[in-house]
Amino acid sequence: MADKNKISIVDSHLHVWDLAFRDGCEIKTPSHFWPSEAEPEINRNIDLAEAEKSTSKNSVKNAIFVMCFDDCPEESRLVYRNAEKYPFLKVIKA
């Protein structure tokens, strides 16, 4: 078995979100209503700090952020502004 410290794992599909930010977006598409009360375990804010802690704990070295909300350039700008604080975030896919 390979030494996990020598393997560079990439999370290729990372989402983070702020529910208040989501609710304040001008353009609303069906994606703006997820997560909802139907997914109680994730129907809360999940930020880059939490994502970094979770990925690190699971030996993930790098991540690619994927937009949660369709047609929402504000979301990409929000993540981009915060990404410099989190070196594990390597790509923002909008």
Q: Tens of pLDDT along 70-81?
A: 888 888 888 888
Is residue 4 situated within a structural domain? no
Is residue 3 situated within a structural domain? no
Is residue 40 situated within a structural domain? yes
Is residue 51 situated within a structural domain? yes
CA nearest to 92, candidates 12, 3, 1, 7:
12
- The pLDDT mean for the chain works out to 87
Which structural domain, as residue segments, surrounds residue 78?
Answer: 9-93
Which residues sit opposite 9 in a β-bridge? Answer: 60
**pTM for the model:** 0.76
Q: Tens of pLDDT along 51-94?
A: 999 988 988 999 998 888 888 888 888 888 888 899 898 888 87
Contact yes or no for 65/91 (Cβ under 8 A): yes
Spatial strand order of the sheet with 9-14 comes to 9-14, 60-66, 89-93
Is residue 42 situated within a structural domain? yes
Is residue 48 situated within a structural domain? yes
Is residue 2 situated within a structural domain? no
Is residue 1 situated within a structural domain? no
Query: Which segments of the chain are extended strands (E)?
Result: 9-14, 60-66, 89-93
How many structural domains compose the chain?
Answer: 1
